[in-house]
Structure 1
Amino acid sequence: MIWSLFVLSLFLFLVSPSGRGVLAEKSGEALFKENCSSCHPDGGNILNPDKTLYKKDREAHNIRTAEDIVKKMRNPGPAPTHPQKWAGMTMFDVTKISDDEALKIADYILKTFQ
């Protein structure tokens, strides 16, 4: 009986919506900080300063919606300085970031970097 209560308590902790549980969902901001902020600090771009995450630069490159951002995350393309190599942005396929997480990151970018 005590073991059952322990297992139930552990399960409830892991899935708690409070954000303290290990399995709790991460926010778009947390996912961005974990996966994107090293190359895009404060919405900038350390690899290509002309392609920041700010609205004017996104729109200049036809990136206007959350779906557009997710497409770019999934298939960033070659680096402009080395078109023959994939030396630019890291490709974030579904094994690295789920579709739900990618949309959270995209929504965070759209809301944060005006």
Structure 2
Amino acid sequence: MGRQGSGAGRWPLSARPIATCLAAALLLSGCTEPPQADSPPVATERGAQLFKERCAPCHPDGGNVLNPKKTLHGGVLADNGITTPAGIVARMRAPGPGMTRFDQAAIPDADARLIAEYILATYR
């Protein structure tokens, strides 16, 4: 059994059940909230314009002139493991065969993100 004491870091026996309940309540309070989802992508005018300038020649209406099986439509993107703006930007930076590589100098990260969000919001 524990000793009652007044040393630093020790709780009197009568306060331990209260402290234990408080600790459990604090731990459990964060476990009952559902995880917050990221906000859905938004198609901005700037994203649309960048897409039109840089991507639409090869991806008209979200299609793919080189490989019709690899469109920008949501289900196809997801089947290829691309479900987030970061996934699209990664593909822009290191594309597969036939696609132009768009590095940071060609399309800055902020613009690449706008394009990616436009794609995800437009071609669900």
Same fold (TM over 0.5): yes
1:110 Cα deviation from its structure 2 partner: 0.4
Highest RCO, 1 vs 2 (Cα 8 Å, sep ≥ 6) = 2
The count of corresponding residues between Structure 1 and Structure 2 is 80
The 1-side partners of 2:68 and 2:104 are apart by: 27
1:29 Cα deviation from its structure 2 partner: 0.2
Q: Secondary structure at the match of 1:96?
A: coil
The 2-side partners of 1:98 and 1:35 are apart by: 12
Percent identical residues: 51
The 2-side partners of 1:72 and 1:103 are apart by: 12
1:103 Cα deviation from its structure 2 partner: 0.0
Match of residue 48 from structure 1: 67
Match of residue 108 from structure 2: 98
Counterparts of 1:22-101 in structure 2 under 5 Å? 27-77=46-96, 79=97, 88-101=98-111
- What code does the residue aligned with 1:107 have? E
Match of residue 108 from structure 1: 118
Unaligned runs of 5+ in 2: 1-44
1:37 Cα deviation from its structure 2 partner: 0.1
Question: Larger radius of gyration, structure 1 or 2?
Answer: 2
